[in-house]
Amino acid sequence: MENAAVNKKSYNKIVDEWVKIRNNSAINKPIKDFLEQIEPNGTILDIGCGAGLPIAKYFSDNNQSVIGIDFSENMIEIAKSQEIQNSQFFVCDFFDFKSNENFNGIIAWDSLFHFPKERQKEIYSKIYDLLLPNGYFLFTHGKKEDEHTDKMFGEPFYYSCLTRKDVLILMKDLGFRLEYEIENFIEENTQRDWVVLVQKK
């Protein structure tokens, strides 16, 4: 929990700088691919939604209902102020999140790597349970096992991940079907080590 507290404190402190960058960010192609798989008027869970832009708004503008969760109070305060239609935003740690409804799609764009190393394996079973049958899950991830602290906007952030192989095995065992994976994804000025889209069987 100590590392989570560090990340929460840092995100609360950099919220203004974060919003300036994210509000002007483009929607990456994998996010568009993900949306194409979601049925009209579906429901999407955005894990680590930040301030709601641009991703939650993009889904809302395309007739999807969005639940956004983030552990940064300041990020959620701004997300709520954006007045994004068909959306609800909550201050919540993913591992504490509970829902009476399941989702057509779940996205974790640049958020899974903040989860504690010792709990990384728990992520995928919980997401599987939160998805409706045939629902889709899009996420970004590292390719190698790792745990480290780095800085962003001068503030410390904790990161961790499992190996690509371990994640693929976990998802296959749970019953996910791999739609596609992109290693070293680059689009305009953005880069991700690994982008994955899977479907719940």
Confidence check: pLDDT of 24 > 90: no
Q: What is the DSSP letter of 71?
A: S
1 pLDDT higher than 80: no
Q: Does position 140 have pLDDT exceeding 90, yes or no?
A: yes
- Is 90 exceeded by the pLDDT of residue 23? no
- Tell which phi-psi region holds residue 43, choosing left (phi > 0), alpha (psi between -120 and 50) or beta: beta
What pLDDT digit, counting tens, does each position of 62-121 carry?
999 999 999 999 999 999 999 999 999 999 999 999 999 999 999 999 999 999 999 999
**What's the pLDDT band for 189 if we cut at 50, 70, 90?**
confident
Q: How many CB atoms lie within 10 A of CB 171?
A: 20
175-190: average pLDDT: 95
Judge whether 157 and 150 are in contact, CB under 8 Å: yes
Identify residue 192 by its one-letter amino acid code: R
pLDDT in tens, 85-96: 999 999 999 999
Its sign, for the CA torsion 155, 58, 24, 187, is positive
DSSP 143-184: SS-EEEEEEETTEEEEEEE--HHHHHHHHHHHTEEEEEEEEE
The pLDDT of 165-182, averaged and rounded, is: 98
What pLDDT score was predicted for residue 121?
A: 96
Task: Tell me what pLDDT residue 39 has.
Answer: 93
Q: Which domains are present in the chain?
A: 2-200 (3.40.50.150)
